[in-house]
Amino acid sequence: MAVEGTPRRRRLTELERREAIARLALRNTQLDHEEVLVFREIYPDVYRLQIPQIWKRLERRGIPEHDAKDVMQNIQLAIFRRVCERGFGESMTAVTHSIVGDCILNYVRARKRNRCTAGVPSSGSAPPATGPGVDSAAYYKEVVAKVVSQISDDHWVVIELLILNGLEQAQAAEILGIPVRTLRARLAAAKARLIELAQAILDSSPRPQG
């Protein structure tokens, strides 16, 4: 809603929009106030061109549709802020690629945190069932939660992409923006770290009987 006494901004003509996009595309520093206003007006058209690229990466990543929509909203806002703060840089495609990678990693981190807390009863909940089988299942569930909480995000995202989602190595490497050789090295390191953490936890805590 416009403030009383403030003149309403005139909408750009099609020619002015094209000229504005061309000028902004050359910007690689923070936008000034006038440029932000112009960019806000043309941003829906600019972002619309990036949607197929973004959606394709989210689909390859295996993100469920209901989650992908939330991630898309985060990406849309993050791209706008990045351009306002730093300009277009090399290209809009490059900006989008970087932002999508960051948002995917944030999504993976959130899922990782959820895995750490999933199934943990609240202080006000009823006491859990007991017995040899239940005790054993709860113990190993706790071990998994501890391992997941301690493994690095770089290792976890590789595990998530390759082992949990079953992506091909070439697909995962493209999503992460790294060579396949680097991906393989990270996967080997991630598996070794998983074994190391699990063994340390198992050795330091008594296992339930039965």
Q: Which alpha helices (H) appear in the chain, and where do they start and end?
A: 14-25, 33-48, 51-61, 65-86, 92-117, 132-150, 153-158, 169-176, 180-204
Question: What is this structure's pTM?
Answer: 0.53
**Secondary element (H or E) of residue 138:** helix 132-150
Residue 14 and residue 164: Cα distance in Å, rounded?
A: 47
Q: Could you check whether 11-119 and 129-205 share the same CATH topology? A: no
More confident call, 123 vs 60? 60
- pLDDT tens figures, 30-86: 888 888 888 888 888 778 888 888 888 888 777 888 888 889 999 999 989 988 888
Give the pLDDT confidence score for residue 132 in this predicted structure.
43
Closest CA to 111 of 76, 140, 149, 59: 149
Domain 129-205: state its class. Answer: mainly alpha
- The domain locations on the chain are 11-119, 129-205
pLDDT digits (tens, 9 = 90+) for 128-145: 444 444 456 666 667 666
DSSP letter for 169, please: H
Output the CATH code of domain 11-119. 1.20.120
